[in-house]
Amino acid sequence: MTGKIAFLPGDGVGPEVAEAARRVMMRAGEIFGLAMTFEEFDFGGAAIDRHGDPLPAKTLNACLNAQAVFLGAVGGPQWEKGGPRPETGLLALRKNLGVFANLRPIRVMPGKESLSPLKDDVARGADILIIRELTGGLYFGDKVEGDESASDNCAYTREEVTRIAKIAFEAARARRGRVTSVDKANVMATSRLWRAAVIALHEAEYGDVELEHVLVDAMAMKLIQHPAQFDVVLTENLFGDILSDEASVIAGSIGLAPSASLGEGVRGLYEPIHGSAPDIAGLDKANPVGAILSGAMLLRFSLNAEGAARAIECAVEETIKLGFGTRDIGGADSCSEFAGRVAAALAR
């Protein structure tokens, strides 16, 4: 079976980190004998410039017919002056692919605690899997956009909460058996439904998993106070967006954090959690680790190639432990140089 991958480089540093990830995935494919094809499509701001639409029908159809979609990043100041926005294309892509479960692993590398802005003792051992609901909540509710008033509607159904909670409990069973569900149940109706649905599923099917509930404001604090206490963190769309950027820095840089977005089948959308980083775009300075590790997740979840995925993760860790890296983690490599080192480490 050929792994057909729709490749969407996007905007800003997107093409730089996506190319780095493609290079590493292709090398892993050679070593592990995996058949993979990458076909590139316009997406985001680049697609607005060429077609007036951030998600052209050709791109969407290709994504729907692929086994996996790999995305760099979208957005930038040139598309913030009115007219269609690149981010709209990303939300539409996630919705159309039905990828409601966004997995964002964050791990402080043993021996590399010094990369963290936190004290070594605080950062040590942090290994968190954030599971962010990705196709509901404020992002997708009705919007009213006016000059004098505006609103965004936050809505969740019990079914939407239950299906993402199931993913979190299953993930916890394969890890350290703990789920922290984050909400704002002291204020928001959607959070009260969220909490009730998580508790009901826990009582019915997952009594063996330890479950706690933390309000999102306290969670923002606890994450940096004692990150190693958390295993799986389950939360809704907007809270997950914010907490994952915060958590990424515990490991050293947002450029290190990968993600996988999954739905019912094996098809997935894979992208680093960072954005198009306009301040460093075009300079070959971006950290490609988040993109490369997203490639490893693609091999694991959509192509059933666990060995190749593990090999990429080990090659990244080995390369960083040797002291190499981009500037954001204190190294001197360019994006492409670092990718070359990881590709070379794979063969060893």
Q: How far is the CB of 278 from ligand NAD (least distance, A)?
A: 6
70 to 89: interface string for ligand IPM, x by CB under 6 A: -----x-----------x--
If one asks whether residue 54 binds ligand NAD (CB under 6 A), the answer comes out as no
Known catalytic membership, residue 284: no
- What does 278 bind: ligand NAD, Mn ion, ligand IPM, none (CB cut-off 5 to 8 Å by kind)? ligand NAD
Contact range with Mn ion by CB under 5 A, out of 111-119, 147-155, 241-249, 252-260: 241-249
**CB atoms closer than 10 angstroms to residue 187:** 11
* DSSP classification of residue 65: T
Q: Does 133 bind ligand IPM (CB under 6 A)?
A: no
Cα-Cα-Cα-Cα torsion 330, 255, 288, 341, nearest 10 degrees, comes to 30
Strands 127-133 and 232-235: parallel
In the sheet with 3-10, reading across from the earlier edge strand, the strands are 36-40, 3-10, 68-73, 268-270, 260-262, 101-107, 127-133, 232-235, 178-183, 210-215
241 near ligand IPM (CB under 6 A): yes
> How far apart, in whole angstroms, are the C-alpha atoms of residue 116 and residue 329?
9
Taking CB under 6 A as the criterion, the residue among 25, 90, 293, 308 binding ligand IPM is: 90
Q: Write down the least CB distance from residue 119 to ligand IPM, Å.
A: 27
Neighbours of 52 (CB within 10 A): 10
**Using the rule CB under 6 A, is 236 a contact of ligand IPM?**
no
Is residue 245 flagged as an active site residue? yes
Under rule CB under 6 A, residue 273 binds ligand IPM:
yes
Site for ligand NAD, residues 265 to 294, rule: CB under 6 A: 271, 274-280, 286-287, 290
CA-CA distances (angstroms) from residue 198 to 202, 222, 258, 343? 6, 21, 26, 42
Instruction: Determine what percent of the chain falls in helix, strand and coil, rounding each to the nearest 5.
Output: 50, 20, 35
Between CA 273 and CA 131 the distance in angstroms is 13
Strands 68-73 and 3-10: parallel
Site residues for Mn ion per CB under 5 A: 241
**Interface ranges with ligand IPM (CB under 6 A):** 75, 87, 90-91, 241, 273, 275
The residues of the shown chain that bind ligand NAD, judged by CB under 6 A, are 13, 17, 73-76, 87, 90, 253-255, 271, 274-280, 286-287, 290, 328
User: Residues with catalytic annotation?
Assistant: 139, 184, 217, 241, 245
